[in-house]
Amino acid sequence: MKNRRRLLWVYALSMLGSGMGFITQILVSGFWSTAFSQDVTFYSLNLAFYFLSLGIGTRWSRNLSDKPRVLFALVAALCLWCGLCISLLRLVIFQLNEATPLAILIVCVAGALAGCVLPLALRLFPEKSGASLGTLFFVDYLAAIVFSLVFTFGLLLPWGYTGSAVALSLGGLVVLAGTTAWALGQARWVAFALLLALLPWPLARGVRYWVHVPEKPGAPKVLVSQQSHYQKIIVTEFQDDQGHTQNALYLDGFPQFMSGAEQLYHFCLVNLPIAAEQSLGRAVRHVLVLGGGDGLVARNLLAFSSIEQIEMVELDPAMVELARTHPALTRHNENALQNPKVQVHLQDAFSWVRAQKQTYDLILIDLPSPKNLALARLFSVEFYRNVFALLRPDGFVAIQAGPYYAPPPARGISTITAGVQRAVEAAGLKSSIYLTSRDADAFVLGTRAEGFSMDSFSLNYGIQKDGRLSGVCQYDPTAVRPQVATNTLNTLPLATDAMRWYRQVHGMGFFFYRDFHGIFLPD
């Protein structure tokens, strides 16, 4: 009976140690990739270093004593390390705006500790207990799926990365204490494990409080700080230079709109393509909006009485719920998402458009800039072909196309905007680039309509230089587009171009971590 209990204890600690090591690298990868928008880059780097560290730990385990207390200590250290990993990252990013070396170090420590667990567990198998090497490997591999499912579907949404790390650490240390008390009856070990369980939460709370304290007087008031399944949503309130109260929306640290300036952006995205279609004597009745979860695109569309139906495809239900209910957002979107003309589909736009057959007079694509591979696929030739298949033959499409200007010392149109236009043209539409006058956000207008000339329309509409609307939107027929690679699903160069642009213009601090709040960091 004693041997049986000890065998089960060895299996349990092997599973717990392997799971804690694996979930630590998942936590670090997810947090770091969300904060710095480099999903594949860091996941690949992270996983490579984790497996290397597993190998190092396995080799180094020969130097460890074959004592149960050593296995206990290894697993306890892994549980504690898991609980502290996100707090350490938040602290260093807030101070330095960069944490790549620390992130890799955290993963390497977790891998090295986890690598020691399996060989030591093998050496601790009690004699004549019926122990199975295959079973030991199975429980180690099983740990990966169990911990991943618990984190992804049970912990991430309600508690975020920090809370999940603390919860997993606390749960692991309690399981460690319970199994040790049952199998070995070591009261001192149990007390030590329970004492360690008291550490991660207060330390995480202390770090969270510190990084959320504004560094500058007059920092914005945070109205919403919510980690959804897809992104970190921040809504702030602040006073502009004239003393007026304004709001801003940030997604994963990137500004999505500032209430004092968003009207120009949405006029260019919505009103201008409608005017282009009307210039050909055609009414816009059915509109498809991809993105636009804040409801501001729908608000502008509803101002046109000819529009009968607006279908909006938005991935994040949390964003839509905020846009429908939060006073700071409903004030700006004028309760557009409550209007019966607006139908919201909570789906991934990439999959949704492939399944549709209905055609639309106008399609508006208001998606975040292609700052990572997941977003860059929504600017690909393949995606645009599926989207344009839903466009009426003489309809129009307008696309948010990132920052218009290339960063100094380069001149002309940015490679982001040029890449979007190139993909649109490769997908079969004639296209033109225009921009907002105030913040230089770029748009691509596309159509198959015969007889439409952007040069003629822009002169008549007044958006060329010195035109009546040139203070709102601008079109420069002489602008030179740089040579760029086509953004296809096989290559996705736009993701690299976008991050290069942001780093050249803003540096690593473009998430406003030090200027305002550490609250922009993922939870």
Domain end (from 149, 184, 211): 211
* 517 burial via Cβ count (<10 Å: 0-12, 13-18, 19+): buried
What mean pLDDT is predicted for residues 287-304?
Answer: 94
Q: How many Cα neighbours within 13 Å face the side chain of 504?
A: 15
E strands, 221-292, in order: 221-227, 232-239, 245-251, 254-258, 286-291
Confidence category of residue 180, pLDDT binned at 50, 70, 90: confident
Number of domains the chain contains: 2
**Angular region, 486: left φ>0, alpha ψ -120 to 50, beta rest:** beta
Q: Are residues 97 and 182 in the same domain?
A: yes
Q: Which residues of 49-61 are buried (b: 16+ CB within 10 A; e: fewer)?
A: bbeebbeebbeeb
DSSP β-bridge partners for residue 257? 249
- Where among 182, 211, 240 does a domain terminate? 211
Q: Rounded to two decimals, what is the model's pTM?
A: 0.82
The CATH number for 125's domain is 1.20.1250
The last residue of a domain, from among 175, 193, 211: 211
How many angstroms separate the CA atoms of 425 and 481, rounded?
Answer: 13
Structural domain for 186, as ranges:
2-211
pLDDT tens across 10-58, in order? 888 889 999 999 999 999 888 887 777 666 677 788 888 999 999 999 8
pLDDT at 218: 63
- Are 376 and 476 found together in one domain? yes
Q: What is the mean pLDDT of the chain?
A: 85
Return the pLDDT at 433: 93
Contact between 337 and 344 under an 8 Å Cβ cutoff? The reply is yes
Q: Are residues 20 and 145 in the same domain?
A: yes
**Which has the minimum average pLDDT: 365-379, 387-401, 467-481, 493-507?**
493-507
Read off the pLDDT of each residue in 278-303 and give the average, rounded to a whole number: 93
- Of 180-194, 343-357, 483-497, 499-513, give the lowest mean pLDDT range: 499-513
Q: Specify the higher pLDDT residue, 229 or 265.
A: 265
Mean pLDDT of 88-106: 80
Going by pLDDT thresholds of 50, 70 and 90, the confidence category of residue 204 is confident
In a domain, 262, yes or no: yes
Same domain, 275 and 403: yes
Greater confidence (509 vs 369) lies with: 369
Give the C-alpha separation, 165 to 87, whole Å.
9
Our answer to whether residue 366 is catalytic in this structure is yes
184 and 285 inside one domain = no
Give the per-residue pLDDT at 251.
Answer: 85
Are residues 403 and 264 part of one domain? Answer: yes
Q: Read off the pLDDT band of 217 (50, 70, 90).
A: low
Q: Per the residue annotation, which of 252, 366, 441, 523 is the catalytic one?
A: 366
Is there a domain that residue 516 lies in?
no
Q: What is the CATH number of the domain that holds 303?
A: 3.40.50.150
What pLDDT does residue 298 have? 95
CA distance 65 to 301: 71
Q: Mean pLDDT, to the nearest integer, of 101-127?
A: 87
Tens digits of residue pLDDT in 426-441: 999 999 999 998 878 8
Q: Measured between alpha carbons, how far is 323 from 366 in angstroms, rounded to an integer?
A: 15
Same domain, 279 and 356: yes
Q: Is residue 10 part of a domain?
A: yes
Res. 285 pLDDT band, cuts 50 70 90: very high
Beta partners for residue 222, in sequence order: 236
pLDDT tens-digit series, residues 316-332 = 999 999 999 999 999 99
Q: Per-residue confidence at 91, pLDDT binned at 50, 70, 90?
A: confident
Examine the domain organization and report whether 172 and 285 are in the same domain: no
On whether both 203 and 262 belong to a single domain, the answer is no
Q: Judge if 396 and 476 occupy the same domain.
A: yes
Using H for helix, E for strand and C for coil, what is the string for 129-192?
A: CCCCHHHHHHHHHHHHHHHHHHHHHHHHHHHHHHHHHHHHHHHHHHHHHHHHHHHCCCHHHHHH
In this prediction, residue 419 carries a pLDDT of: 93
Q: What is the pLDDT of residue 11?
A: 85
Q: Do 367 and 477 fall within a single domain?
A: yes
pLDDT at 187: 83
**Residue 177 and residue 41 share a domain:** yes
Whether 485 has a pLDDT exceeding 70, the answer reads yes
